[in-house]
Structure 1
């Protein structure tokens, strides 16, 4: 396994004739494969996407390559098409980072766009349309799919309160200096541990999860996003007693009906002032906060092996199973039935 210079930051990367990526804990899926086989394998590892060649492979080009490793919170993939290509997965549903080793990849996410080259990674958000219309034949990238719930948990732990929706990241991450360079070092550490068959990461699930969460949490701290002002300002004021009173009551009994009038009465302020206070101090409305707490409690019950999804939904105040399933998928990235089936 070799390293490649990404504009001042060196990361593991594929080189011609290098040894199988299994040394990194990766499983090689394709090498010099027909394009449709490569596309199908790529979609199986990451996302259903429209993937098409936009040019012809030339003699002497390095071959196509796809190797992947699925961990608890991350999916890692080494990807090289070997031909000019376009990739259109749409809204990913997960957070994602592409770290280029070589070549150039025209990259868009919602209204943001950039040219991903060595030294500049692309960061994607779950619900904005992602498209890579210009992946050059010589471009190789380390693609990192990140569990949506894991990333949001890391941010919530840092903020001290739930986040109401998905986090919008800036797309362009400079890996050559400052926070981006530090985050890249965390990625390299995880890769180095996976590479060594005698490392603790292969013997301890807790150690591996610790390193995964270090990568996830580091991205939250390194890259610009919606919550960075609150996250980085140590002078953020404490919650007013009115807000704390309502939050404590919701946390104690989230399954109860919580109309705005009852919450305002408890806080001894108007409903409008209460909503303003929640937005200022928690970044969401009171009703969104109630739903977030209920969903977290429901998730905890399902992970603990509850008897049924309907029972859990009813226990935590969700009267419409369809809406519960939709909100649950939005927050945790899978249906409640999938969580229960996976745990069992």
Structure 2
């Protein structure tokens, strides 16, 4: 799938010692630690207020915490929290009734969902599904995780858009999610970018449309990347469609290319699955839907810059490019010069 969003870095980037997920998460969350001391009961209560009514118990005879940290961001489609107990613990929320991803930044967390078991680590996240008992049997004292509670309706809506029809049963994900290479690394990079944008969105005047687009893209990439009960259908043969559906999408893109579309949005316009739209665009247009959208946006930005309709940053943001460095690169590849060169000739 083509998930090119032109949002590889935030307009107001969080400053961290490195660009890794761990570094960005520390910069984003540690300035607002919600737990003030070593009291285990207080930590449990704050954790449960953000997530689920879970049983949380200390292990190894420890009843106090060493340098605990807990801070949460509540977004439209998910809650993301930075969580470190600083002591061994067991967390038992039972059936979550929704979808949840834990991404360890450090240490090991023994995790279970139904009859599946994994040792979650920085190389392997855990993806939990509804309808099965979830248990974190042992959260090691040094373990730190990004705990991500996903809006169930939003996850299922993204999958339905990719399939081209509503789903009739909950999604049953494989528990272990390999983050070490390929698709898992891409998903981690997208999560890092979302955390950066969400941090910047705390500032007045920073729009939330990019954050929501990133949220939806993270959900879509999860259901595309991680194996689950609909994977065979999702990655199976696509239905051949006519040029009429492609023309509907082309008309929409030409009319309002600045809108924050995802490929699922465009597929809904045509009334087909996202995979069918991808195949049809490659067959009839020679590019993916998102690549075509980017081409149109570049043409509109080029025209505005030639006519002096704003500064480079203003024009780029207006046409949906929030990453100015990437915009400049794409612009130069397409028109043979930097945006600043075009506007300097006015």
> Structures share a fold, TM > 0.5?
yes
What's 1:231 paired with? 234
TM-score when normalising by structure 2: 0.60
CA deviations over 1:258-288 (Å, ceiling 9, x no partner) = xxxxxxxxxxxxxxxxxxxxxxxxxxxxxxx
Structure 1: distance between partners of 2:96 and 2:190: 24
Residues 112, 3 of structure 1: alpha-carbon distance in 2 compared, 3 angstrom cutoff: farther
Q: Aligned partners of 1:31, 1:178: CA distance in 2, in Å?
A: 39
Q: In the superposition, relative to structure 1, how do residues 160 and 101 fare at CA in structure 2: closer, same or farther (>3 Å)?
A: same
Output the CA distance in 2 between the equivalents of 1:2 and 1:139: 20
Bigger CA drift: 30-39 or 217-226?
30-39
Alignment of 1:9-28 (within 5 A): 10-13=20-23, 21=29, 27-28=32-33
Residue of structure 1 aligned with 2:44, choices 34, 39, 44: 39
Q: How much has 1:10 moved relative to structure 2?
A: 3.5
Note closer, same or farther for the CA distance 1:87–1:155 as it changes in structure 2 (3 Å cut). Answer: same
Aligned partners of 2:30 and 2:69 also within 8 Å: no
Determine if contact 2:89/2:138 at 8 Å carries over to the other structure.
yes
Partner in structure 1 of residue 128 of structure 2: 124
Task: Give the paired residue count.
Answer: 227
Question: Counterparts of 1:44 and 1:32 in 2: how far apart (Å)?
Answer: 17
For CA contacts below 8 A with separation 6 or more, give which structure has more relative contact order: 2
Change in 2 beyond 3 A, CA 1:208/1:20: closer
CA-CA distance at 1:213 after TM superposition: 0.4
Q: Deviation of residue 217 (structure 1)? A: 0.8
Distance 1:40 1:227 in 2: 36
Q: Distance in 2 between matches of 1:98 and 1:10?
A: 17
Superposed CA deviations along residues 182-205 of structure 1, whole A, max 9, x for unmatched, are: 1111101101112335889x6323
Aligned Cα root-mean-square deviation (Å):
2.8
Aligned mates of 1:81, 1:93 — CA distance in 2:
24
Query: What secondary structure, in the 3-state scheme, does the structure 1 residue paired with 2:22 have?
Result: strand
Aligned to 1:133: 137
Question: d(CA) in 2 for partners of 1:171 and 1:152?
Answer: 17
Residue of 189, 194, 199 corresponding to 2:198: 194
Gaps of 5+ in 1: 239-344
Deviation at residue 181 of structure 1 after TM alignment: 1.0
Residue by residue over 1:94-151, the C-alpha shift from the partner in whole angstroms, topping out at 9 and shown as x without a partner, is 1000000111111000010010011110000022100011110110000000000000
Matches of 1:31 and 1:73, distance apart in 2: 28
Distance 1:125 1:33, change over 3 A: same
Equivalent position SS for 1:126: coil
Gap regions ≥5 residues in structure 2 = 1-14, 242-346
Residue of structure 1 equivalent to 2:297 = none
1:40-70, CA deviations, whole angstroms, 9 ceiling, x for partnerless residues?
11011000000000124599x8511110010
Q: CA deviation at 1:3?
A: 6.8
Q: Using a 3 Å threshold, how does the CA distance of structure 1 residues 212 and 197 change in structure 2: closer, same or farther?
A: closer
- The residue number in structure 1 matching 2:79 is 75
